[in-house]
Amino acid sequence: MYSVNYHRANSVADAAKLLKTGDAKLLSGGMTLIPAMKTRLAAPSDLVDVSRIAALKGVKVSGKTVTIGAATTHFEVSTDAKLQKACPALAELASMIGDPAVRHRGTIGGSIANNDPAADYPAAMVALGATIVTNKREIAADKFFKGLFETVLKDGEVVTSVSFTAPAKAAYQKFRNPASRYAIVGVFVAKGKATGKDDVRVAVTGAGDSGVFRAKTIEAALAKSFDPAVVAGAKVSADSLMTDMHASADYRANLISVMAKRAVAAANG
Ligand SMILES: Cc1cc2nc3c(=O)[nH]c(=O)nc-3n(C[C@H](O)[C@H](O)[C@H](O)COP(=O)(O)OP(=O)(O)OC[C@H]3O[C@@H](n4cnc5c(N)ncnc54)[C@H](O)[C@@H]3O)c2cc1C
């Protein structure tokens, strides 16, 4: 084991200051970063723990606006009564992440900053037209996720919260890897007010060879009729989808249709 300096930040300003130390990295739930350090995929000189900063914790719902602090755990997101009422699809998504240990430690801020191509929250953030708030700026989810494990976050930038307008209808369906529980394909469908008008957004995780993306053919079909039956006619091309040991690109393309159909049916209740 190599040595690493541990710092517990008391505030966001404190975290930003501590991040200037050596080759420091933020630590939130540690569910991704600690395994990466154990396997030497990451070797920071310093860890700046943001998981106990009160300002980064909790869910707030004001009218239709939902704000979730970056250090809120998946368990807290899944069980928050206000969120279960305002956007039950997101609470349910959080309940499907990993296992209880992961859900009690892992956080929404850590998940979106990590941008694993099979992570669940990126699909929700894009479909909900969410805003990612950092200590420096506000970033539309459409622009935040850049590629595999890549975001537009700059050095020294701390995600502080995510915020979105609760949609009229939404649902998430995931075909999970039975071992890791990550999505082989996950589809989040949101209808109404996601971007200020009564539109439909469909975001896909687990399948794209550059991470989360919007399934625009399915969106166009659903904008005309928000009915699961129209999804079959809106094919998704396998061209930019991943092929790996779990599933081929063609298999994933078909799964996107199946998951989208189920998500629309669930959103319609
Ligand atoms: C067994 C297992 C199963 C899992 N299954 C799933 C699954 O089904 N679905 C899913 O979506 N995920 C899954 N995960 C990942 C899990 O959700 C992690 O919690 C998440 O990816 C990282 O969140 P974290 O809070 O643990 O972040 P950390 O591991 O602490 O940090 C991850 C990265 O984000 C950076 N970071 C952390 N906080 C911030 C911040 N506030 N601002 C800027 N950068 C920050 C860190 O520096 C680091 O680079 C699984 C993980 C494990 C170990």
Which residue has 């928050």 as its token pair?
A: 80
Whether residue 142 is found in the same domain as residue 197: no
Q: How far apart are CA 258 and CA 252, in angstroms?
A: 10
User: Ligand 1 center to residue 140 CA distance, Å?
Assistant: 20
pLDDT of 2 above 80: no
Report the SS3 class of residue 260. helix
User: Ligand 1 center to residue 229 CA distance, Å?
Assistant: 35
Q: Give the pLDDT of residue 246.
A: 94
**Which atom of ligand 1 lies at the shortest distance from residue 28's CA?**
30
The ligand 1 site (C-beta within 6 Å) comprises 25-33, 50, 70, 97-98, 102, 105-107, 109-111, 113-114, 116, 119-121, 153, 158-159, 180-182
Whether residue 107 is found in the same domain as residue 15: yes
User: Ligand 1 center to residue 232 CA distance, Å?
Assistant: 34
For residue 21, CA distances in Å to 10, 52, 105 come to 16, 20, 25
Which residue has 């368990």 as its token pair?
A: 75
The answer to whether 159 and 165 have CB atoms below 8 angstroms apart is no
Provide the residue range defining the domain that includes 126.
5-34+56-165
Whether residue 181 is found in the same domain as residue 154: no
- If one residue of 7, 28, 112, 132 were mutated to test the ligand 1 pocket, choosing by the most ligand atoms within 8 A of its CB, it would be 28
Which residue, by CA, sits nearest to atom 3 of ligand 1? 98
Q: Give the pLDDT of residue 197.
A: 58
**Which atom of ligand 1 lies at the shortest distance from residue 134's CA?**
42
Whether residue 174 is found in the same domain as residue 157: no
Position 235 confidence tier, pLDDT thresholds 50, 70, 90? confident
Q: Give the pLDDT of residue 152.
A: 98
Whether residue 146 is found in the same domain as residue 220: no
Whether residue 27 is found in the same domain as residue 131: yes
Rg of the chain's alpha carbons, rounded to an integer?
A: 18
Q: What is the mean pLDDT of the segment spanning 76-100?
A: 97
Whether residue 184 is found in the same domain as residue 149: no
**Which atom of ligand 1 lies at the shortest distance from residue 35's CA?**
53
Whether residue 123 is found in the same domain as residue 14: yes
- Which residue, among 169, 166, 191, 171, has the nearest Cα to 82 in the 3D structure? 166
Residue 261 within a domain: yes
- Among 145, 165, 185, the domain boundary falls at 165
Residue 45 within a domain: no
pLDDT of 85 above 80: yes
Whether residue 149 is found in the same domain as residue 180: no
Query: How many folded domains does the chain comprise?
Result: 2
Q: How far apart are CA 188 and CA 265, in angstroms?
A: 12
- Among 165, 197, 228, the domain boundary falls at 165
Residue 44 within a domain: no
CATH at residue 173: 3.30.390.50
Residue 40 within a domain: no
Which residue, by CA, sits nearest to atom 20 of ligand 1? 111
Position 192 confidence tier, pLDDT thresholds 50, 70, 90? confident
CATH at residue 27: 3.30.465.10
User: Ligand 1 center to residue 1 CA distance, Å?
Assistant: 22
Which segments of the chain does DSSP mark as H helices, in order? 12-18, 33-38, 74-79, 81-86, 88-95, 100-105, 108-114, 121-127, 141-144, 216-224, 249-267
Which residue, by CA, sits nearest to atom 47 of ligand 1? 26
pLDDT of 195 above 70: no
- Among 110, 140, 165, the domain boundary falls at 165
pLDDT digits (tens, 9 = 90+) for 13-55: 999 999 999 999 999 999 999 999 999 999 999 999 999 999 9
Q: Give the pLDDT of residue 228.
A: 96
Whether residue 157 is found in the same domain as residue 219: no
Residue 46 within a domain: no
- Amino acid identity, position 76: E
Residue 218 within a domain: yes
Q: Max Cα separation, the chain?
A: 58
Residue 158 within a domain: yes
pLDDT of 193 above 70: no
The answer to whether 186 and 259 have CB atoms below 8 angstroms apart is yes
Whether residue 153 is found in the same domain as residue 210: no
Count Cβ atoms below 10 Å from residue 36 Cβ, excluding itself: 15
- Amino acid identity, position 217: T
User: Ligand 1 center to residue 180 CA distance, Å?
Assistant: 14
Whether residue 96 is found in the same domain as residue 197: no
Residue 200 within a domain: yes
Position 165 confidence tier, pLDDT thresholds 50, 70, 90? very high
